[in-house]
Amino acid sequence: MDATIKPINNKVSMFSTDEELYEQLTNKELMLIKMVKTEEFVDDLYKAHDSESNKKLFPPEKSWFKIKELLRELRELNKRQINKF
């Protein structure tokens, strides 16, 4: 298994701020990145359920609130995409 980190998008870096992302990416590209981030936090939430040590590494409340925030952002991006047409 290849453990290297593969970029989702070549236009921005992994450490780009939200402002940079919104300036350089289309709504579709932003939605993909937000969905991937959401998947990561869902995985963290599941791991926190798995064991006590994982719960300390991936606090469930942090993951839950981050998932909610990302879903709100996705909803707004989707609205913008729909309103373009």
- The Cα 41–Cα 30 span in angstroms is 17
- The Cα 62–Cα 43 span in angstroms is 12
The proportion of the chain whose per-residue pLDDT surpasses 90, expressed as a percent, equals 32
Give per-residue pLDDT as tens, 22-39: 888 888 889 988 999 999
Average pLDDT over residues 40-49: 90
pTM of the model: 0.77
Average pLDDT over residues 45-57: 87
